[in-house]
Amino acid sequence: MLAWLSKNIFFPLWEIKDGAQRQKYLRELCATQWLETEVLQQQQWERVQKIVEYAFTHCPYYRSRYASLGFDGKLRSWQDFRNLPILTKRDIRDNKANLLSEAFRREELVSAKTGGSTGTALTLYFDQQCQELRNAAAMRSDRWAGWDIGMKVAAIWGNPPVANTFKKKLRNVLRDRVIYLDTMDINDASIQRFIDCWRRERPRMIFGHAHSIYILALSLQRLKIRDLHPEGIIATSMMLLEPERCVIEAVFGCQVTNRYGCEEVGLIACECERHAGLHLNIDHLIIEFLKENGTEAEPGEEGDILLTDLLNHGMPLIRYRVEDRGVPSNRKCGCGRGLPLMERIVGREADFLKRPDGSLVAGVSLVERTLTAIPGIEQMQLLQNDLHRLLVRVVPDSHFSEATQSNLQNELQVVFGSEMVIEIQIVSYLYQTSAGKYRFAVCNI
């Protein structure tokens, strides 16, 4: 009953109060997802022409940088677009004021900070319409996982927002309908409180950081709690490791929807109900995969991800190097949606560890492989502060033995070479970032 009221009464009322149009945008996006890929790409082409011209006209940074290259702001072909310079995190940090559109006053824009756990903290600005469209795109893909407006959800991540005013509490009860587990504070008592709350409130979806959901799943397994059955789980904000996905799905008895997004542009890609790759949000973005030599990665090949935001007029981001790596795809998804697929996210650039000879090792993939190959490891984190030294933090499980440790040592020695000093530390938890996320591999060199 409350779910119905929330969806049909409270949510629309809040929209009117906020002057927002998310429900209208959601309806539009739910329709466009079924368009042919070529139609969506044509729409993408029209939008990119507009945003590039807009940036050239209204943002001093693009105006001077593009003009110095002899570009007049008018795209005539996709090749023109691919010739545009790449925007780095450093460019954003050094030119923040000049990247903002002169058409907005600063106070009209919504700002957000990126975590900076990979080194460069950024402040970004969005216009209001962009925010609402982004929310609608996230809601569209939430629906692929079984969610609907008004449905009660459990959110599992670090530092959840605290409903500290009557207004926020009311909004949570009537509209957002969320129960939280703060993964910055996981212990038997907080898990038990969460389970009690779950049994009372009966949420139907789980949202959370992939590894945080995994930690909850492990606790439930240990406590032999078997009655927490959501209809869907959305794992976001960090890499979902295959071995962790298996544990989560077994404990909760439903499939995990893997999602990729970032603070800078919102939702980038998400699995649909087929779970066969991630559909790219090309309504709102151009997503490029670039190899080291600057050419486009072929389907199945790894590349650096560049993002062009087709929505944000407050602070346009054009060919922004987000410092993540992923694999494009040319497969068609059986669901019939026109949104193209990417195969997977490989990790952040800062997750790549270095061998003593300077060559790179994809840290997250290595952790994923090791968790599958060596029994006895519940969680693992690789930290590198020195070219010749690797610290491995291991949370053991009940199968842990001396063989676990020696197998792990051997495996890593083969990957990094005999010159690498590998130190294994047995610990009871992994470090989290200040935002409550986990990083499986951290290279500080």
Residues lying near Zn ion in the complex (CB under 5 A) are found at: 272, 274, 333, 335
The torsion of the CA quartet 307, 310, 313, 314, rounded to 10 degrees, works out to: -30
Which SS3 state, helix, strand or coil, does residue 395 take?
strand
Which SS3 state, helix, strand or coil, does residue 444 take?
coil
Least distance between Zn ion and beta carbon 144 (Å):
8
Q: Do the Cβ atoms of 327 and 289 come closer than 8 Å? A: yes
Four-residue CA torsion sign, 213, 215, 216, 220: positive
Nearer to Zn ion (CB atom), residue 40 or residue 216: 40
Nearer to Zn ion (CB atom), residue 335 or residue 430: 335
Least distance between Zn ion and beta carbon 336 (Å):
7
Determine the Cα–Cα distance for residues 55 and 314; give it in Å rounded to an integer: 9
For 292-337, the three-class secondary structure string (H helix, E strand, C coil) is: CCCCECCCCCCEEEEEEECCCCCCCCCCEEEEEEEEECCCCCCCCC
Nearer to Zn ion (CB atom), residue 268 or residue 315: 268
Least distance between Zn ion and beta carbon 295 (Å):
28
Least distance between Zn ion and beta carbon 122 (Å):
32
Nearer to Zn ion (CB atom), residue 31 or residue 445: 31
216: nearest Cα among 161, 266, 256, 260: 256
Least distance between Zn ion and beta carbon 222 (Å):
35
Nearer to Zn ion (CB atom), residue 338 or residue 436: 338
Nearer to Zn ion (CB atom), residue 269 or residue 442: 269
Determine the Cα–Cα distance for residues 86 and 319; give it in Å rounded to an integer: 5
Least distance between Zn ion and beta carbon 92 (Å):
33
Q: Which residues contact residue 352 at a Cβ distance below 8 angstroms, ignoring those fewer than 6 apart? A: 360, 361, 362, 363, 441, 443
Nearer to Zn ion (CB atom), residue 39 or residue 223: 39
Determine the Cα–Cα distance for residues 17 and 10; give it in Å rounded to an integer: 10
Going by the DSSP 8-state scheme, the letter that residue 184 receives in this structure is: T
Nearer to Zn ion (CB atom), residue 333 or residue 408: 333
CA angle 429, 214, 265 (to 5 degrees): 100
Least distance between Zn ion and beta carbon 383 (Å):
37
Least distance between Zn ion and beta carbon 190 (Å):
36
Nearer to Zn ion (CB atom), residue 272 or residue 371: 272
| 294 phi and psi angles, rounded to 5 deg | 90, -5
Nearer to Zn ion (CB atom), residue 125 or residue 147: 147
If 0-12 CB within 10 Å is exposed, 13-18 middle and 19+ buried, where does residue 258 land?
Answer: buried
Least distance between Zn ion and beta carbon 279 (Å):
6
The torsion of the CA quartet 147, 244, 121, 308, rounded to 10 degrees, works out to: -60
Nearer to Zn ion (CB atom), residue 144 or residue 320: 144
Least distance between Zn ion and beta carbon 39 (Å):
17
Token pair of 159 as six digits: 């530092």
CA angle 91, 87, 47 (to 5 degrees): 135
Least distance between Zn ion and beta carbon 273 (Å):
7
Least distance between Zn ion and beta carbon 117 (Å):
31
Q: What string of DSSP letters covers 14-70?
A: HHHHHT--HHHHHHHHHHHTTS-HHHHHHHHHHHHHHHHHHHHHH-HHHHHHHHHTT
Determine the Cα–Cα distance for residues 391 and 383; give it in Å rounded to an integer: 5
The H or E element that residue 358 is part of is none
The torsion of the CA quartet 258, 262, 268, 272, rounded to 10 degrees, works out to: 20
Nearer to Zn ion (CB atom), residue 86 or residue 335: 335
